[in-house]
Amino acid sequence: MGYYYHLAPQLPHLIYGQEVPMSSEQFVALANYVMSDEDAALLVHCNLNPAPVPATSSGFINFWIEYERTMRLQLAKGRSQKLKRSGDSFGEIPEYPIDAAAVAKAALALDSAFEAEILLDKARWDAIDSYVGLDLFSENAMYAYLIKILLLERRAAFETEKGFTEYKALYTAILGEAK
């Protein structure tokens, strides 16, 4: 477990919805240079689609993987139920962390896919903040920082106008097939 008193103060403060101050690749390069080999090796688990892995030495990364897994499984289950699909087997879907399950249900209730994605990303951001706490110099704070940069990059990649046009075309096509 490392403390990064020289790295953390150099990093720009991140606010959800702001422009990305540096790319995730730039941050990883900097972190790999400054962090211990053991801590830096765990950066690969800091992504927006974390694969289930055996517990790591980072409580934060373990939390993140479980949070994201719960949210995604709850979303898949809810979408399957909305489409009235039978036979979709997701196995046992975790209810913990409870806020991940709750935000998935809230996102499914929204009519706008864009608004649902924003809700999900904001909930991810808030979960990161609540779990990492005030220890701003720890390796967990560095992991949280990387995931937040990835969320900002994802948000910047949204093209609202183009996405809405494609959504309407797809929705019209689906309704046409249903008739």
Q: How far apart are CA 20 and CA 16, in angstroms?
A: 10
The torsion region of residue 138 among left (phi > 0), alpha (psi -120 to 50) and beta comes to: beta
Q: Is 32's pLDDT higher than 80?
A: yes
What is the average per-residue pLDDT within 31-43?
Answer: 94
The string of pLDDT tens digits covering residues 59-109 is: 999 999 999 999 998 898 888 888 877 656 666 777 777 888 899 999 999
Which 3 state secondary structure label does DSSP give 122?
A: helix
Q: Is 127's pLDDT higher than 70?
A: yes
CA distances 109 to 17, 103, 117, Å, are 22, 10, 12
Task: Find all residues with CB under 8 Å of 28, minimum gap 6, and list them.
Answer: 43, 146
> What six digits make up the tokens of 175?
């309704």
Say what the pLDDT of residue 117 is: 94
Amino acid letter at 55? A
Say what the pLDDT of residue 115 is: 94
The string of pLDDT tens digits covering residues 13-22 is: 999 999 999 9
Say what the pLDDT of residue 16 is: 94
Say what the pLDDT of residue 86 is: 67
Say what the pLDDT of residue 151 is: 97
Per the model's pLDDT, the better-predicted residue between 137 and 120 turns out to be 120
Contact 11/148 with Cβ under 8 angstroms? no
Q: Is 44's pLDDT higher than 60?
A: yes
What is the average per-residue pLDDT within 145-166?
Answer: 85
Which 3 state secondary structure label does DSSP give 148?
A: helix
Q: Is 177's pLDDT higher than 80?
A: no
> What six digits make up the tokens of 1?
């477990």
Q: How far apart are CA 179 and CA 29, in angstroms?
A: 53
In the DSSP assignment, the letter for residue 51 is: P
pTM of the model: 0.83
Contact 125/144 with Cβ under 8 angstroms? no
Say what the pLDDT of residue 87 is: 57
CA angle at 71 for the pair 16 and 23, rounded to the nearest 5°: 35
Mean pLDDT of the chain: 87
